[in-house]
Structure 1
Amino acid sequence: MMNSKMKQLLTALAISSAVITAPVSVQAADKPAASDIEEGKKLAFSRSKGNCLACHMAGDGAQPGNIGPALIAMKMRYPDKQKLYNKVWGTDDSTKVPNSMMPEFGKSGIITDDEIRKIVDYIYTL
């Protein structure tokens, strides 16, 4: 039998997972501001935010990881910018890699939708 603290925790988890919203829409035709791209780069390279360099080679980032694929030719790999956004956010099952270690950044609340949008704007320039 579960104790009451465990029941409360499971109830809280069930409720919080039910209220998670879907990711925002990203328009591929939108030309992001240079400041958003620069902010996206800072977020992507930040160890406390995107931390893309922990797993990926990206742009001129120092000491990249090699667990994930290099972030190159992103427009060619993701002609639909929304799919790239969804992959980072954590909802695009069509791009989900089995046994991937990539966190679902938006779905889990690691970073905000706006931060993900800026990171995607930066990654899309690579």
Structure 2
Amino acid sequence: MGMLKEFKDFAMKGNVVDLAVAVIIGGAFGKIVSSFVNDIVMPPIGVLLGGVDFKDLTVTLREAYVAESGAEMSAVVLSYGNFIQNVVDFLIIAFVIFLAIKGINSTKKKKEEAPAAPPAPPKSEVLLEEIRDLLKK
């Protein structure tokens, strides 16, 4: 029973819960970015390149053939179009994370740079300033 309680305490700590939420949101965000790249970014690029669908960009290493046993052997292809789409996905996600971290850092700097009110001078210093001012008069 003690180990179960330890695990519950560990799992309910803020960092673990925050990490779980971040992973779930990150997965959903990845799907959104993939859809954005596949459905919005890549089609216009394909049209600009002469109607190319990036999913169809492949290099065939070996054509499909029928083996002596009669089994159909599928073609071996390099799908570099999918790779290009995944690179674009990565670049967009990396850029968004960069912007988020930059925003967080600038917020932290603004809080650190906020000037604190100067501390009130001690009573002895105030009295000495008053005496100095009286002597000047």
- What is the TM-score normalised by the length of structure 1? 0.27
Which of the pair is proportionally richer in helix?
2
Structure number with greater Rg is 2
- What is the TM-score normalised by the length of structure 2? 0.25
Which of the pair is proportionally richer in strand?
2
**Larger relative contact order (Cα-Cα within 8 Å, sequence gap ≥ 6):** 1
